[in-house]
Protein backbone atom coordinates (compact mmCIF):
# COMPACT_ATOMS: atom_id res chain seq x y z
CA UNK A 1 0.00 0.00 0.00
CA UNK A 2 1.47 3.41 -0.86
CA UNK A 3 2.33 5.17 2.40
CA UNK A 4 3.23 8.80 3.08
CA UNK A 5 6.84 8.48 1.81
CA UNK A 6 5.69 6.91 -1.46
CA UNK A 7 3.00 9.57 -1.94
CA UNK A 8 5.49 12.34 -1.16
CA UNK A 9 8.01 10.81 -3.59
CA UNK A 10 5.25 10.75 -6.23
CA UNK A 11 4.45 14.41 -5.54
CA UNK A 12 8.10 15.42 -5.86
CA UNK A 13 8.33 13.50 -9.15
CA UNK A 14 5.20 15.02 -10.70
CA UNK A 15 5.42 18.65 -9.64
CA UNK A 16 8.32 19.91 -11.82
CA UNK A 17 6.73 18.58 -15.04
CA UNK A 18 3.15 19.57 -14.33
CA UNK A 19 3.28 22.93 -12.55
CA UNK A 20 2.15 25.74 -14.85
CA UNK A 21 0.79 23.30 -17.48
CA UNK A 22 -2.78 23.57 -18.72
CA UNK A 23 -4.99 20.49 -18.76
CA UNK A 24 -6.37 19.82 -22.25
CA UNK A 25 -8.23 16.54 -21.80
CA UNK A 26 -9.11 13.84 -19.26
CA UNK A 27 -9.70 10.24 -20.37
CA UNK A 28 -11.54 8.06 -17.84
CA UNK A 29 -11.50 4.44 -19.04
CA UNK A 30 -12.99 3.00 -15.85
CA UNK A 31 -14.72 5.33 -13.37
CA UNK A 32 -15.34 2.57 -10.81
CA UNK A 33 -12.70 3.34 -8.24
CA UNK A 34 -13.36 3.41 -4.46
CA UNK A 35 -15.90 6.12 -5.26
CA UNK A 36 -17.00 6.74 -8.88
CA UNK A 37 -14.89 9.27 -10.75
CA UNK A 38 -17.36 12.21 -11.13
CA UNK A 39 -18.86 12.63 -14.62
CA UNK A 40 -18.11 16.36 -14.50
CA UNK A 41 -14.40 16.07 -13.63
CA UNK A 42 -13.44 17.22 -17.14
CA UNK A 43 -15.99 20.05 -17.10
CA UNK A 44 -14.44 21.35 -13.88
CA UNK A 45 -10.78 20.94 -14.81
CA UNK A 46 -10.12 21.01 -18.59
CA UNK A 47 -8.72 24.37 -19.62
CA UNK A 48 -7.42 25.08 -16.11
CA UNK A 49 -3.73 25.52 -15.26
CA UNK A 50 -2.09 23.51 -12.50
CA UNK A 51 -0.81 26.00 -9.93
CA UNK A 52 0.61 23.57 -7.42
CA UNK A 53 0.52 20.06 -6.01
CA UNK A 54 0.47 19.47 -2.27
CA UNK A 55 0.12 16.39 -0.12
CA UNK A 56 -2.21 16.11 2.87
CA UNK A 57 -1.71 12.78 4.61
CA UNK A 58 -1.86 10.32 1.74
CA UNK A 59 -4.03 12.58 -0.45
CA UNK A 60 -2.54 14.45 -3.40
CA UNK A 61 -4.22 17.82 -3.93
CA UNK A 62 -3.87 19.23 -7.45
CA UNK A 63 -4.45 22.99 -7.25
CA UNK A 64 -6.28 24.13 -10.37
CA UNK A 65 -7.28 27.49 -8.89
CA UNK A 66 -10.97 27.55 -8.01
CA UNK A 67 -11.11 23.75 -8.07
CA UNK A 68 -8.86 21.20 -6.38
CA UNK A 69 -8.52 17.67 -7.69
CA UNK A 70 -8.11 15.07 -4.91
CA UNK A 71 -6.25 11.85 -5.77
CA UNK A 72 -5.71 8.93 -3.39
CA UNK A 73 -3.68 5.90 -4.47
CA UNK A 74 -5.64 3.42 -2.33
CA UNK A 75 -4.08 -0.04 -1.95
CA UNK A 76 -2.29 -0.38 -5.26
CA UNK A 77 -2.45 2.89 -7.20
CA UNK A 78 0.44 4.65 -8.90
CA UNK A 79 0.82 7.79 -11.00
CA UNK A 80 3.42 8.02 -13.75
CA UNK A 81 4.06 9.71 -17.06
CA UNK A 82 3.05 7.73 -20.16
CA UNK A 83 5.33 7.87 -23.19
CA UNK A 84 4.11 9.44 -26.46
CA UNK A 85 1.44 7.15 -27.95
CA UNK A 86 2.00 4.53 -25.26
CA UNK A 87 -1.14 2.35 -25.21
CA UNK A 88 -3.03 2.06 -21.93
CA UNK A 89 -2.72 -1.25 -20.10
CA UNK A 90 -5.54 -3.15 -18.43
CA UNK A 91 -5.42 -1.27 -15.11
CA UNK A 92 -4.65 2.21 -16.49
CA UNK A 93 -7.96 3.83 -15.56
CA UNK A 94 -7.42 7.60 -15.95
CA UNK A 95 -5.18 9.81 -18.16
CA UNK A 96 -4.62 13.55 -17.83
CA UNK A 97 -3.30 15.25 -20.99
CA UNK A 98 -1.48 18.59 -20.72
CA UNK A 99 -0.76 21.33 -23.25
CA UNK A 100 2.90 20.35 -23.73
CA UNK A 101 2.00 16.76 -24.68
CA UNK A 102 2.64 15.31 -21.22
CA UNK A 103 0.31 12.47 -20.23
CA UNK A 104 -0.14 11.61 -16.56
CA UNK A 105 -1.57 8.12 -16.06
CA UNK A 106 -3.22 6.43 -13.06
CA UNK A 107 -2.77 2.68 -12.74
CA UNK A 108 -4.76 0.98 -9.98
CA UNK A 109 -5.26 -2.81 -10.24
CA UNK A 110 -7.34 -3.11 -7.06
CA UNK A 111 -9.34 0.11 -7.66
CA UNK A 112 -9.34 1.32 -4.03
CA UNK A 113 -7.95 4.66 -5.18
CA UNK A 114 -9.95 7.85 -5.71
CA UNK A 115 -10.12 10.76 -8.16
CA UNK A 116 -12.48 13.53 -6.99
CA UNK A 117 -12.82 17.30 -7.20
CA UNK A 118 -13.79 19.95 -4.67
CA UNK A 119 -14.20 23.72 -4.63
CA UNK A 120 -13.48 23.75 -0.86
CA UNK A 121 -10.58 21.45 0.03
CA UNK A 122 -10.35 22.77 3.61
CA UNK A 123 -13.81 21.51 4.46
CA UNK A 124 -13.96 18.42 2.25
CA UNK A 125 -15.15 15.44 4.38
CA UNK A 126 -12.07 13.37 3.48
CA UNK A 127 -9.70 16.16 4.57
CA UNK A 128 -11.40 18.26 7.25
CA UNK A 129 -10.70 15.96 10.22
CA UNK A 130 -7.11 14.99 9.46
CA UNK A 131 -4.52 15.52 12.19
CA UNK A 132 -1.29 17.47 11.66
CA UNK A 133 1.41 16.49 9.20
CA UNK A 134 4.20 14.55 10.96
CA UNK A 135 6.99 16.55 9.34
CA UNK A 136 5.69 19.95 10.45
CA UNK A 137 6.47 21.86 13.65
CA UNK A 138 2.81 21.45 14.67
CA UNK A 139 3.54 17.77 15.39
CA UNK A 140 5.87 17.92 18.37
CA UNK A 141 6.38 16.29 21.78
CA UNK A 142 3.89 18.57 23.57
CA UNK A 143 1.16 17.83 21.01
CA UNK A 144 1.83 14.08 21.02
CA UNK A 145 1.90 13.93 24.83
CA UNK A 146 -1.44 15.77 25.07
CA UNK A 147 -3.00 13.38 22.55
CA UNK A 148 -1.60 10.32 24.38
CA UNK A 149 -2.92 11.41 27.77
CA UNK A 150 -6.48 11.33 26.40
CA UNK A 151 -6.23 7.79 25.04
CA UNK A 152 -6.30 4.29 26.53
CA UNK A 153 -5.39 2.61 23.24
CA UNK A 154 -1.96 1.13 22.53
CA UNK A 155 0.59 3.70 21.39
CA UNK A 156 1.04 2.03 18.00
CA UNK A 157 -2.65 2.39 17.25
CA UNK A 158 -2.62 6.02 18.42
CA UNK A 159 0.21 7.07 16.09
CA UNK A 160 -1.54 5.25 13.20
CA UNK A 161 -4.78 7.21 13.85
CA UNK A 162 -5.07 9.90 11.13
CA UNK A 163 -6.96 12.18 13.52
CA UNK A 164 -3.85 12.23 15.77
CA UNK A 165 -1.22 12.48 13.02
CA UNK A 166 -1.50 11.65 9.33
CA UNK A 167 0.58 9.29 7.26
CA UNK A 168 2.20 7.01 9.86
CA UNK A 169 1.55 3.61 8.27
CA UNK A 170 2.21 0.18 9.73
CA UNK A 171 5.85 -0.15 8.69
CA UNK A 172 6.77 3.34 9.87
CA UNK A 173 4.90 2.96 13.18
CA UNK A 174 6.85 -0.19 14.08
CA UNK A 175 10.16 1.36 13.04
CA UNK A 176 9.54 4.63 14.91
CA UNK A 177 8.66 2.80 18.13
CA UNK A 178 11.89 0.82 17.87
CA UNK A 179 13.97 3.99 17.49
CA UNK A 180 12.14 5.55 20.45
CA UNK A 181 12.60 2.42 22.62
CA UNK A 182 8.86 2.02 23.25
CA UNK A 183 6.91 -1.24 22.99
CA UNK A 184 4.00 -1.05 20.54
CA UNK A 185 1.41 -2.39 23.03
CA UNK A 186 2.18 0.24 25.71
CA UNK A 187 -0.94 2.18 26.72
CA UNK A 188 -0.62 5.65 25.18
CA UNK A 189 -1.66 7.44 28.39
CA UNK A 190 1.28 5.83 30.26
CA UNK A 191 3.88 7.49 28.02
CA UNK A 192 6.01 10.12 29.74
CA UNK A 193 6.80 13.47 28.18
CA UNK A 194 10.43 12.37 27.47
CA UNK A 195 9.10 9.22 25.75
CA UNK A 196 6.85 11.41 23.58
CA UNK A 197 9.85 13.60 22.75
CA UNK A 198 11.76 10.52 21.55
CA UNK A 199 8.77 9.17 19.63
CA UNK A 200 7.91 12.42 17.81
CA UNK A 201 11.56 12.75 16.78
CA UNK A 202 11.70 9.09 15.67
CA UNK A 203 8.58 9.44 13.50
CA UNK A 204 10.08 12.46 11.74
CA UNK A 205 13.44 10.71 11.30
CA UNK A 206 11.98 7.44 9.92
CA UNK A 207 9.66 9.19 7.45
CA UNK A 208 12.38 11.56 6.28
CA UNK A 209 14.75 8.64 5.67
CA UNK A 210 12.03 6.74 3.78
CA UNK A 211 11.30 9.73 1.54
CA UNK A 212 15.02 9.99 0.79
CA UNK A 213 15.17 6.25 -0.02
CA UNK A 214 12.07 6.56 -2.21
CA UNK A 215 13.73 9.26 -4.20
CA UNK A 216 16.61 6.98 -5.08
CA UNK A 217 14.54 3.90 -5.92
CA UNK A 218 10.96 3.75 -7.13
CA UNK A 219 10.95 -0.04 -7.34
CA UNK A 220 8.43 -1.38 -4.91
CA UNK A 221 8.84 -4.62 -3.12
CA UNK A 222 6.36 -6.93 -1.42
CA UNK A 223 7.28 -8.04 2.09
CA UNK A 224 6.37 -11.54 3.27
CA UNK A 225 3.51 -9.92 5.21
CA UNK A 226 2.01 -8.87 1.87
CA UNK A 227 2.54 -5.16 2.43
CA UNK A 228 4.34 -2.96 -0.02
CA UNK A 229 7.47 -1.22 1.05
CA UNK A 230 10.55 0.12 -0.57
CA UNK A 231 13.27 -2.34 -1.34
CA UNK A 232 15.94 0.04 -0.11
CA UNK A 233 14.24 0.77 3.19
CA UNK A 234 16.48 -0.90 5.77
CA UNK A 235 14.07 -1.89 8.52
CA UNK A 236 15.23 -2.56 12.07
CA UNK A 237 12.21 -4.58 13.25
CA UNK A 238 9.46 -4.56 10.60
CA UNK A 239 9.06 -7.98 8.92
CA UNK A 240 12.05 -9.35 10.89
CA UNK A 241 10.28 -11.75 13.32
CA UNK A 242 12.76 -14.23 14.79
CA UNK A 243 15.78 -12.47 13.28
CA UNK A 244 18.40 -10.95 15.59
CA UNK A 245 17.99 -7.30 16.59
CA UNK A 246 20.64 -5.26 14.75
CA UNK A 247 21.44 -3.46 18.02
CA UNK A 248 21.44 -6.22 20.66
CA UNK A 249 20.92 -9.55 18.78
CA UNK A 250 17.74 -10.46 20.74
CA UNK A 251 15.24 -12.18 18.38
CA UNK A 252 12.61 -9.71 17.09
CA UNK A 253 9.06 -10.51 18.21
CA UNK A 254 5.85 -10.26 16.20
CA UNK A 255 2.44 -9.51 17.74
CA UNK A 256 -0.91 -8.64 16.17
CA UNK A 257 -2.67 -5.38 17.12
CA UNK A 258 -5.93 -4.34 15.49
CA UNK A 259 -5.41 -7.09 12.86
CA UNK A 260 -2.05 -5.58 11.86
CA UNK A 261 1.34 -7.13 12.53
CA UNK A 262 3.65 -5.28 14.92
CA UNK A 263 7.34 -6.04 15.40
CA UNK A 264 9.58 -5.09 18.32
CA UNK A 265 12.78 -5.93 20.19
CA UNK A 266 11.96 -7.03 23.75
CA UNK A 267 15.36 -5.79 24.95
CA UNK A 268 15.65 -2.41 23.18
CA UNK A 269 11.98 -1.52 23.69
CA UNK A 270 10.76 -1.28 27.28
Q: For the CB of residue 186, give the shortest distance to Zn ion in the complex, in Å.
A: 16
Residue from the set 166, 245, 257, 261 that interacts with Zn ion by CB under 5 A:
245
Contact between 154 and 244 under an 8 Å Cβ cutoff? The reply is no
Q: Does the footprint of Zn ion cover residue 243 (CB under 5 A)? A: no
Q: Distances in Å between the alpha carbon of 230 and those of 157, 201, 215, 227, 252?
A: 22, 21, 10, 10, 20
Among 231, 248, 251, 270, the residue binding Zn ion under the rule CB under 5 A is 248
Q: Binding-site residue total for Zn ion (CB under 5 A)?
A: 7
The end-to-end CA distance of the chain, in Å, is 29
Does 247 engage in binding with Zn ion (CB under 5 A)? yes
Give the residue at shortest CB distance from Zn ion.
245
SS (H, E, C) 25-62: EEEECCCECCCECCCCHHHHHCCCECCEEEEECCEEEE
Please identify, among the stretches 17-25, 170-178, 202-210, 240-248, the one whose residues bind Zn ion according to the rule CB under 5 A: 240-248
217 lies in the site for Zn ion, by CB under 5 A: no
Query: Smallest distance from the beta carbon of 39 to Zn ion, in angstroms?
Result: 55
Report the length, in residues, of the chain. 270
**DSSP-derived secondary structure for 80-143:** EEEPTTPPP-TTEEEEEEETTS-EEEEE-TT---EEEEES-GGG-TTTTT----TTSTTSSHHH
The answer to whether the beta carbons of residues 9 and 208 sit under 8 Å apart is: no
Does position 267 interact with Zn ion (CB under 5 A)? The reply is yes
Region near Zn ion per CB under 5 A, out of 52-60, 112-120, 194-202, 244-252: 244-252
Q: Does 163 help bind Zn ion (rule: CB under 5 A)?
A: no
Contact between residue 9 and residue 172 where contact means Cβ atoms under 8 Å apart = no
Q: Tell me the closest approach of the beta carbon of residue 195 to Zn ion, in angstroms.
A: 17
**Catalytic center residues:** 2-3, 58, 260
Window of 48-56, 84-92, 209-217, 241-249 that interacts with Zn ion by CB under 5 A:
241-249
- Toward Zn ion, which CB reaches closer, 58 or 179? 179
The residues that touch Zn ion, with contacts defined as CB under 5 A, are: 245, 247-248, 250, 265, 267-268
Amino acid sequence: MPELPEVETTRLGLLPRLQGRTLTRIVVRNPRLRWPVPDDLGVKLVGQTLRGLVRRGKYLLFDFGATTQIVHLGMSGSLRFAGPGEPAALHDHVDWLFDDGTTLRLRDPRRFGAVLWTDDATHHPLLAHLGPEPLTAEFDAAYLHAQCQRRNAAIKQVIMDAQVVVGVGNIYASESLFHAGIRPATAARRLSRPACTRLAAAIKQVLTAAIAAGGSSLRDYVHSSGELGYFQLQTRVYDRAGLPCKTCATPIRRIVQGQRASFYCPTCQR
